[in-house]
Structure 1
């Protein structure tokens, strides 16, 4: 699949064009210069052809630590791309900085288009003449207005002509006696392959306070500098995702924006907070990143509450542990004390700087996802519940006789187990907690919450009483 890179100075409209091509609002758009800082990827369709779109951060020549990293990563992305869309602001006359960037990109020998944005009407098309001094041919110069959706069709046609044909899925003609129609059905082996591929997907959200090292951990896990890293809090704004294969699984990591106290959230960080919530809804596993070199804060606990809210499998990652002289045992005790409701989550101390325990963290992600997706056979489940009841008899509230007919698992991600009973509403929470703890002692549910429901015979699912393991 060919890659298309969007390159340009800050605030020229790259993210708006990215959203237009993707046909959805993915990148955060604002008037604030430098909103996009990391590389954002998304599979797109140009008419009936596919491509991978890369939205880069605005290239700014300032000495700012963040923007110097942004420029370097943007140029590296251009080198990897097959097609480069160099975008400039049509409201301004061409400047030397734009020319230097254009010539630098031209030297790469890639398919290159000069996209002049903010040409909002026919009169403003006259401004295009000043951009011919770049030495570009007319066929590679496009005057567009993303906000008014002007001139984009011509640009899309240019991109389309440079993309390979999309391979059509295998189809088998459906034979119908006495009928002539164009109905098709997909080859069954192809469907099974797609289903198997989907089952290998693991989506991991990396969450935590600002400046705890989330982007550094993402870079260490993926083995490449995917996110811009700087000591400045709030560097990551857009959630950044990166996929790679590991142990036969396709793992997609999402580095979310660092979260602050609500009163400290300003400007585009409000959008970042909303995007973080959206990403958590789609994730399977959360890596809760804590800075082990500093005392834990109340905000760490509040952020961890998002994990419980979305029912995610969890790994607690202690970053920068090499900067703390405390023993791991002491740190572990502190984590268990402050994050009691995440007692099921394993704790791994890592150093994104040195790479310590990063491979161990990858292996743990695979293992936790298996637990999060685990299906327990009805026979094993009932035997376990039966043993638990024998060891600790069911209570008799107000003399009522309680009986569990059987147990069955009715869902995964996280595991959902139903107890079919004669009087489900009378079973006390403390006994349900005992049963869930007994299940954990006998079945590997490390890293994942368990949802346990009690139900009477014939009750509809929406009438269930759901109990989440804290």
Structure 2
């Protein structure tokens, strides 16, 4: 059987380090300061011949109801409830703390198989702290060093003992970027407090991600699976991205880097704008970044329920085309993550953008277009010499990429390139998607003869 394991413990005992070690990737942010993890993060872990789901959780402290630490604790409680086995981590170097005993009571009341792990046990410095962990009454503490990968064999034996029915099962292949029929990978990005986590929670129909009035709650890029009208999606919630000049702290730099990584691995990126303050400079920079990365783009205007003139959505089309001419026709949807308004239109926009992003056009149709486009507006003469464009082809999609073979590739003006791109977009219905247009010089068969 497959199973789910939750890693819990007080702040800064190494939960995210162990999570990364088990999944074999640096998915969770790790830093020396406590309290880096806030949301619960799930990953596919492997240990020996076992493959299972692992959940990283926030290390919580006692806090008043409704506060951010209290909401973080709710996420940890949900992870414990989902788990088949709980890995309770303590810090062997610092010894047993009162909060460790609190966690011991929590997992004891949960009535789940619990494995006590004494992390940071490398060397002799952690021996005394590991022995102190016996006071929790949760069995023999397993000495482990998540950072150096020591003690994983003992953890494997403990999992086998705690879940004797657990067996190995076929490893699922990672999603191929060019595979068809798999989930559409979506990254939702935007400035801090634009409502990204609230929107995803509304799509899921549950409070899966941590939300609140505080800006910058999300730190890790959290991936969740979503099924909408029979179509599977893998949606990444990301940290809010501020201007580079305002990002000073190391932790925020790590969060932004994680968000940028989510953009690179996404197929469709939803740029979430705040309807109260739309089209700020940072929004335009993020849109331009998505285009340069070659990802399909959807603009979502969030908090639309706060705008009084609800009938004024028509002007958004003109504004977007004005501010983002490089992706003219990009889908724009006015939504409300709080009330759920227009979520169907948003998901349809994502699917439509994904289809355009994957679109391929036949070579014969492209060359008919080329003949028409160059006859209407011939290439200009540069330095008294005409530029001749011979033919065009599409070597790849995702995004649609075209190669034009011409006599003088370096002499084609940028304005004429833009004309050709806009003509391609209109002629073959490629609204909103980035278009790559590369110019290559056709080989001259007489070059060798002239040199001889």
Give 5+ residue unaligned stretches, structure 2.
445-452
Specify whether residues 46 and 307 from structure 1 end up closer, same or farther in structure 2 by C-alpha distance, changes over 3 A only. Answer: same
Report whether the alignment pairs 1:321 with 2:322: no
Report whether the alignment pairs 1:343 with 2:345: no
Q: Which residue matches 1:228?
A: 210
- Alignment partner of 1:110: what SS? coil
- Alignment partner of 2:28: what SS? coil
Specify whether residues 390 and 197 from structure 1 end up closer, same or farther in structure 2 by C-alpha distance, changes over 3 A only. Answer: closer
- Native 8 Å contact 1:6 1:54 kept in 2: yes
Deviation, 1:127, is 3.5
Counterpart CA distance in 2 for 1:451 and 1:39 is: 38
1:107-131 residue CA offsets vs partner (Å, 9 max, x unmatched): 3333211222233434643444443
Q: Which residue matches 2:69?
A: 67
- Alignment partner of 2:199: what SS? helix
- Native 8 Å contact 1:200 1:248 kept in 2: no
Q: Which residue matches 1:377?
A: 362
Give 5+ residue unaligned stretches, structure 1.
170-189, 460-470
- Native 8 Å contact 2:96 2:129 kept in 1: no
Residues 240-389 of structure 1 mapped to structure 2, 5 A cutoff? 240-246=222-228, 249-265=231-247, 266-294=249-277, 296-326=279-309, 327-389=312-374
- Alignment partner of 1:98: what SS? helix
TM-score (normalizing by structure 2) = 0.87
- Alignment partner of 1:60: what SS? coil
Q: Which residue matches 2:191?
A: 209
Deviation, 1:390, is 3.6
Q: Which residue matches 1:25?
A: 26
- Native 8 Å contact 2:406 2:439 kept in 1: yes
- Native 8 Å contact 2:121 2:145 kept in 1: yes
Deviation, 1:332, is 4.3
Specify whether residues 10 and 390 from structure 1 end up closer, same or farther in structure 2 by C-alpha distance, changes over 3 A only. Answer: same
1:417-448 residue CA offsets vs partner (Å, 9 max, x unmatched): 11223333333332332222222222221231
- Alignment partner of 1:5: what SS? strand
Specify whether residues 247 and 455 from structure 1 end up closer, same or farther in structure 2 by C-alpha distance, changes over 3 A only. Answer: farther
- Alignment partner of 1:270: what SS? helix
- Native 8 Å contact 2:291 2:297 kept in 1: no
Larger deviation, residues 348-357 vs 125-134? 125-134
Deviation, 1:292, is 0.4
* Number of residue pairs the alignment of both structures matches: 436
Deviation, 1:80, is 1.1
Q: Which residue matches 1:157?
A: 157
Counterpart CA distance in 1 for 2:39 and 2:443 is: 52
CA RMSD between the two structures: 2.8
Specify whether residues 423 and 121 from structure 1 end up closer, same or farther in structure 2 by C-alpha distance, changes over 3 A only. Answer: closer
- Alignment partner of 1:268: what SS? helix
Q: Which residue matches 1:13?
A: 14
TM-score (normalizing by structure 1) = 0.84
Counterpart CA distance in 2 for 1:422 and 1:331 is: 42
